[in-house]
Amino acid sequence: MLKYLKLLRPQHWIKNLLLFAAPFFGGRLFNEETVLMAFPAFVAFSLCASAAYIFNDIKDIENDKLHSKKMKRPVASGIISRRDASAFAFLLIVPSFILSYKIAPAFFSYILLYISIQLLYSLYLKHIALLDIFCIASGFVIRVLAGGAAFNVAVSQWLLLTMFMISLVLAAGKRLGEFSLLNEKAEEHRKSLSYYSKGALNDIFLISASASLITYTLYTIEQFQQLVYTVPIVTFGLFRYILLTRQGKGDPVEAVTQDKWLASTVLLWLLLVGLIRYN
In the predicted model, is pLDDT for residue 215 greater than 60?
yes
Reference 155, options 107, 101, 208; nearest CA is 107
pLDDT per residue as tens digits for the range 17-57: 999 999 999 888 988 888 999 999 999 999 999 999 999 88
In the predicted model, is pLDDT for residue 199 greater than 70?
yes
Q: How far apart are CA 279 and CA 277, in angstroms?
A: 6
The proportion of the chain whose per-residue pLDDT surpasses 90, expressed as a percent, equals 58
pLDDT-derived band at 194 (thresholds 50, 70, 90) equals low
pLDDT-derived band at 121 (thresholds 50, 70, 90) equals very high
- What pLDDT, on a 0 to 100 scale, did the predictor assign at position 200? 83
The proportion of the chain whose per-residue pLDDT surpasses 70, expressed as a percent, equals 93
Q: How far apart are CA 57 and CA 51, in angstroms?
A: 10
In the predicted model, is pLDDT for residue 120 greater than 90?
yes
pLDDT-derived band at 251 (thresholds 50, 70, 90) equals confident
Phi, psi of 166 (to 5 degrees): -65, -35
pLDDT per residue as tens digits for the range 124-182: 888 888 898 999 999 999 999 999 999 999 998 888 999 999 999 999 988 887 776 66
In the predicted model, is pLDDT for residue 92 greater than 90?
yes
